[in-house]
Amino acid sequence: MDAGDALLLARAQFGLNIAFHILFPSLSIALGWYLLYFRVKVALTANDPGWLATYRLWVKIFALTFAMGVVSGITMSFQFGTNWPGYMQKVGNIAGPLLGYEVLTAFFLEATFLGVMLFGMERVSTRVHIVSAAMVAIGTTLSAFWILALNSWMQTPAGQVMDGEALIAGDWLRVIFNPSFPYRFTHMLLASGLTASFLVAGLSAWRLLAAPQDAGALRTLRAGALVAALLAPVQVFVGDLHGLNTLEHQPAKIAAMEAIWQTRAGVPLVLFAVPNEATRRNDYAVEVPKMASLILRHDPNAEVQGLEHFAPDHPPVAPVFFAFRLMVGMGVLMLAFAWIGSWILRKRAPRWLLWAFAGMTFSGWIATLAGWLVTEIGRQPWLVTGILRTAAAAGRVPEAAIGASLAGYAFVYGAMLVAYVVVLTHLAREGAKP
């Protein structure tokens, strides 16, 4: 095998791990805040059995989700050095401290207070228990803060200086608050809010299909749908800002997302096409004239740089193009479901709507993974934009070892994911118990 195969294997393995891992934080970041809300409701209603049952059901789901995130996250801490030694050599002085701060400020906080939250309800005062729930929610959000600071820095590096062969941080504030960080962080938090809201609504709908009289499940269905209805339009707005920010700092990624091959004025928006890397044009294209220029430059006749401008240093077009459409499509679907659903749920909960929400339970996962593919593949061939190429960062672990462990991980992850979904739907069917 040649170096290309080894690089592909290393990327496939890391990609598999990180894709599996992100499923769980994308839920637990916002679910932590949901739980805090449920816990406060229990206290405000003087331990109302309904709210208590709701809290207890969701704390179980949260604990399971959190545990999946912890165990798949540990894997990552081992693979940074093994799969990407060149990464640590070149930018370790920046990536290392950011990861370190995540462990120090977030991991211990959330893991320790999770124990108190799960098992300590009868052992500590209501106030201390609520504070523990708040610490867990703050911990998961802080964790997202650091990891997105690092990810954003890799996309739009700032604040670093060269020191011999490696980079060091010249200004930590500029490293952390790099140009794309505010947009990416907000985008991710909102994505988590939507993913968790559809989970809450979807599992509650499952319960209502089995037990239509469950008042608690109807309450959480409404809450999930309403929060999603409020967050979805904000996400559209923030997503647009994020896109404009990407156009400024990573124009090649935008060109791939929109499959714009040539630089010209009045660029049409490609609704659907099959980007053809060989002929460098789109097959079967369905286009809206001048729309891309309007969206990207807010002017129908503005010029947009095409992929030809960046060749050969631009990402593979088809995966980025399709993943972006999948993300946007899923987002539009979620927005529609949340708005229509919330409107109908004010008065009644027809069975077709329950089925619809149950079917959308994991829709946030699809949108999140698609968005993640857009941003990570869209960064190629760079691992750190303009500084380090992905190919230069890969390691020299024998392909056989990566291949064998990749197969093992894939099997274990698959089994874990099935078990997770089965247990969640099972718990939801059983419903909340006081």
Helix axis angle for 181-210 and 3-44, nearest 10°, is: 60
114 binds another protein (CB under 8 A): yes
104 binds another protein (CB under 8 A): yes
Residue closer to another protein by CB (options 100, 329) is 100
Residue closer to another protein by CB (options 91, 257) is 91
124 binds another protein (CB under 8 A): yes
Residue closer to another protein by CB (options 100, 386) is 100
Report the distance separating Cα 285 and Cα 295, nearest Å. Answer: 18
Within residues 160-189, the interface with another protein by CB under 8 A covers: 163, 166, 168-169, 172
Within residues 385-404, the interface with another protein by CB under 8 A covers: 395-398, 401-402, 404
Within residues 126-165, the interface with another protein by CB under 8 A covers: 135, 163
97 binds another protein (CB under 8 A): yes
Closest-CA residue to 376 (of 72, 77, 22): 22
Residue closer to another protein by CB (options 295, 402) is 402
Angle at 369 between CA 310 and CA 336, to 5 degrees: 105
Binding residues with another protein: total (CB under 8 A): 72
Residues 82 and 397 sit within 8 Å (Cβ to Cβ):
yes
Pick from 3, 44, 71, 271 the residue near another protein by CB under 8 A: 71
Residue closer to another protein by CB (options 176, 194) is 176
75 binds another protein (CB under 8 A): yes
Closest-CA residue to 425 (of 193, 202, 222): 202
Residue keyed to tokens 């964790």: 143
Pick from 15, 85, 159, 316 the residue near another protein by CB under 8 A: 85
Q: What's the farthest any 2 CA atoms get from each other in the chain?
A: 69
Residue closer to another protein by CB (options 44, 74) is 74
Residue 26 contacts by C-beta under 8 Å, 6 or more apart in sequence? 188, 191, 192, 195, 364, 365, 368
In the chain, count of helices (H) and strands (E)? Answer: 15, 8
298 binds another protein (CB under 8 A): no
Residues 306 and 261 sit within 8 Å (Cβ to Cβ):
yes
Within residues 38-67, the interface with another protein by CB under 8 A covers: 56, 59-60, 63-64, 66-67
Q: How far is the CB of 408 from another protein (least distance, A)?
A: 6
88 binds another protein (CB under 8 A): yes
Residue closer to another protein by CB (options 108, 355) is 108
Residue closer to another protein by CB (options 49, 115) is 115
108 binds another protein (CB under 8 A): yes
Helical (H) or strand (E) element with 336: helix 317-345
Report the distance separating Cα 71 and Cα 335, nearest Å. Answer: 32
120 binds another protein (CB under 8 A): yes
Pick from 123, 127, 347, 348 the residue near another protein by CB under 8 A: 123
Residue keyed to tokens 């006081």: 434
| Long-range interactions of 269-273: CB distance < 8 A, separation 24+ | 269/294, 269/295, 270/321, 272/325, 273/321
Closest-CA residue to 229 (of 203, 197, 196): 197
18 binds another protein (CB under 8 A): no
